[in-house]
A and B are shown apart, each in its own frame.
Chain A
């Protein structure tokens, strides 16, 4: 224990923390509510502390929402101290503070609502009870700051490694020699991430360490049992995902994820090579595959997009296309005239039309105005954007205009520049995504639900996390899906992304797998920071401008093949991706819960719980665990 006079910076604080057990010096504060702080000394030593102070004011936050807090200003009974004490005595005696180095282990209990710290000397430092929320955030931070591992006997007990422990110095040294990670905190995150990111670069780092462990001559002998452990753990991480289902675990084999590097875009030569003397494309599949793999080289886009967007039939000859252009142009101007000729009276008597017209006007003024092509007042391109959308109302009365449509049209017009061509290409794009604009949003809800199904298959841990954090409805992906990442990517990237998706390869709803790929990438951030409903939305919204389109596509394709080759592939997943259904009716997941069903009851009942509260851990036991774990690593 130290006193409170040192200057500290607060890293984390949690209100409403009940002191359940304390050293004798602080026994008067047992059963008092206070605030738990995690702080770092501002001195050069950068020591970190756990600190608890009784509150005069208690702040209570809504357990469910965590979105707002009420301050209760009722004063605590002040405890009077008699006698002559130093000026800061009151503060000093009140607060409990201990150095990170004192913590040898800690244990989480009572559904994460209690945390006990042990000093490794037979007694416990403190026990804290969380009145609101739980210790998950604190735990996540401790995991980041301390080198810990879970006890093999008690999964709620965390053993803290001592930096002075010989095996650890050795390991640190080996990392330094290998030039992998210098800072010990990142070093440890490598090990921790291993479990969640078995296929990623961390694995490689681990492989290097095992090399070192085996080959380094000065390394002391590792007995055979540990070697076995080492090997087993690697192969386990290699190709299994764990479906957590409450207290038991189902381990389903998912094939290893492969890497699918992006290729160069379809070139003019490649394209020309595929056209026969009549200008007909000989091998459509092969062209589409090239586009899927690398997109289309920019100067070729205005031609190829007309095929991808079903304006030009893939089977047409050059002559067919010339004929088509003439008729489509007539058709367009005919429709355009229909609204152009609308009289003032007609308009006044047609409120639906007026409303659509005004919506378009408002959106056109707010579409990609930062791009040169649409910048400035009285920009002619804005007028064209407006006219195409107005004509689309005439083309599809039932749908009319829905927000988001101007986003879909903007890159097309910017590329093609021609009003007629842009209109028909836009029609083609709309046909692909028309359900995004359903009047009752049924199409969007289906997609969000399908996204959840896919995520639950590929990454059950993350899906489960979202379910238990009010986010199982996947609403935070709404913008991604509605306009196919238009708001997240630059104009150049969105063009590339769309042309790849328009091929319809390698499966139906591939864009949902792109979403899965991004979510999986963000999984660590979301779970380790214990993001709730609000933070998840913010985090996802803030990805805008930060996504690497090529990496996303690459990863999504890897996920596709991983799903495809899984032997427990269920019909509901097959259906979403347009794969042939199983003949037999023995699908694995009997009832995939839709995110639109109320999932609270289900998730509550499957929460693993622990009721064993006061487990005493003897210091020997901790030391034993520590040595086992360190040699295991």
Chain B
């Protein structure tokens, strides 16, 4: 089930939420999903934020310490206007200390040379047109195919040569396991991957499958002085961690995820490949482990087993890292539903956020996150330099 944006504020917090949420950058909405059956009278609750206590963890010692304020200032603002601005004032775009790595065109559209991006979905022919209403009600009740197919109309009518229409029902991307009886075998048909952003696209996409018209709101991200300072502190934090990693004989790469916007508490992790003798102990993987340990639910809730990733580790959270994450780490971040990734050093030969490949930009993946490259000077005298062939 999906609710429209604007209802978010009605949910209360619960440590045992029955509603999960994810932010879908592509559809520009927050998606609320019930995570268990809701009985009449139940209050819908979401999980607002994460516990602030930690468990010990073998991969990363010492890196739990929170620095309320950065000790060093390698990434200090080049001029003082940034430091002096009022937190809630808008920050001028042309002075941003980072830039967006864009992997979709500005309108978010993959339409190139009139070719519509499609994905295979399961559909079924409706034997009796008068059953259509019942079948649509079935789709509504079961949520079959949602939210993947919410940008498409559920029924396609095609005129038959002998006169009249054939109606076809759109089911789901995965093979539909739940179907009403007395339907013929479902089969695969291509459908557009995204809604129609303009009228030309309505026509073009609907020749493949009737597609919802959803013009993109011209949404411009606005940055405030407060946020810019928060981001700069996050960058400083990973620089500090990476520097300490290097002092300890590790590869100087580190990652950090604050608990939420405008806070400086959070978890950080360093690369520990050298000390653990394990080639996959990258900072992002270490950090994800820490985050999952930190939010381990109390034992009594273990019977309320959540499905694969229902409570994702990084939903709506921002990750800072010194070096562009490798393919493994980029996909791990996608699995964890991170919202924003900030990095300082691109890894053109191995990176999964625009270097070698751009994992969240690939066709088929079911989550997108924003990638930001830090562009403001960081004066480290090459202290954080790594082999350009290394997987960060």
A-B interaction: no
Residues of A within 8 A of B (CB): none
Q: Give me the interface of B with A, judged by CB distance under 8 Å.
A: none
